[in-house]
Amino acid sequence: MTRKTAADFDQRILDLFDGYVHGQMTKREFLSRATRLTIAGVSAAAVLEALQPDYALAQQVAPDDPDIVTERIRYPSPDGYGEVEGLLARPAGPGPFGAVLVVHENRGLNPYIEDVVRRCAKAGYLALGPDGLTTLGGYPGNDDEGRVMQRQLDPQRLLSDFFAGFEFLAGHALSTGRVGAVGFCYGGGVCNALAVAYPEMACAVPYYGRQAATEDVPGIEAPLQLHYAGNDDRINAGWPDYEAALQATGKTFEVHVYDGANHGFHNDTTPRYDEAAATLAWSRTLDWFGRHIG
């Protein structure tokens, strides 16, 4: 199977798709507007189908990789939805390990994020990927339903579920207590929120996530490494004010903008995946973890 890339689509369609998957328009509206941009003989429905994730295309670390140990766990979340299920992965050795919370996009713990959890374990960390959809029965098996489900949740209680995941890792018997976080899209915003809520966190690596409020920046102590897609005007609009606040308060951070890349460029199951940008961003992420988590 030939993997489609962003270059196979009109950028205007990719922008419409970004609006669709982030709740700014309905499926009907996407199809109506995309129809005017498709080439002869290609339906908007076919274009939408081609933009959906194909989890058969990408698995970097197998679930049975002998270098790691994985298990499904549940942890308490008293300020959230009570209990959260997640994928916990760690190196096969005795530990203890630095820890990484992996925060999913706006659609639950799908196979791509599970693979990122395993990648973190393969790199030497105790990694946890919570499923924010636990209270609704968990990730439903496809992203479209997952997005609908996540929109049904109370935002503050959902955020508390991820905060509880951070605390679970900090107190885990195999954790050194140094906990960082990496997140994508919605999860990138959670990483910024974690940095505000937990001055003791080792570091945070948000990928194309909503920025923290500028008035909350003085409370951030964790070193931040921020990744943005050059074509992601929606998220990038919030960066200048955030950058100014980080600079004004003397925070430790670095930012990387990947020219020509689209929102979601790290997700290697969709055409928006940009291999060069994703590979570079992940190498920078692991370097940041090495420097600040150990």
Mean predicted lDDT score pLDDT of the chain: 95
**pTM of the full structure:** 0.94
Is the model's pLDDT at 35 over the cut of 90? no
Q: What is the pLDDT of residue 41?
A: 65
Residue 123's pLDDT band, with cuts at 50, 70 and 90, is very high
Residue 205's pLDDT band, with cuts at 50, 70 and 90, is very high
| Position with higher pLDDT, 43 vs 1 | 43
Is the model's pLDDT at 39 over the cut of 80? no
Least confident of 23-27, 213-217, 252-256: 23-27
How far apart CA 270 and CA 18 sit, in angstroms, is 12
Residue 240's contacts (CB-CB under 8 Å, 6 or more residues apart) are: none
Contact 61, 87 (CB under 8 A): no
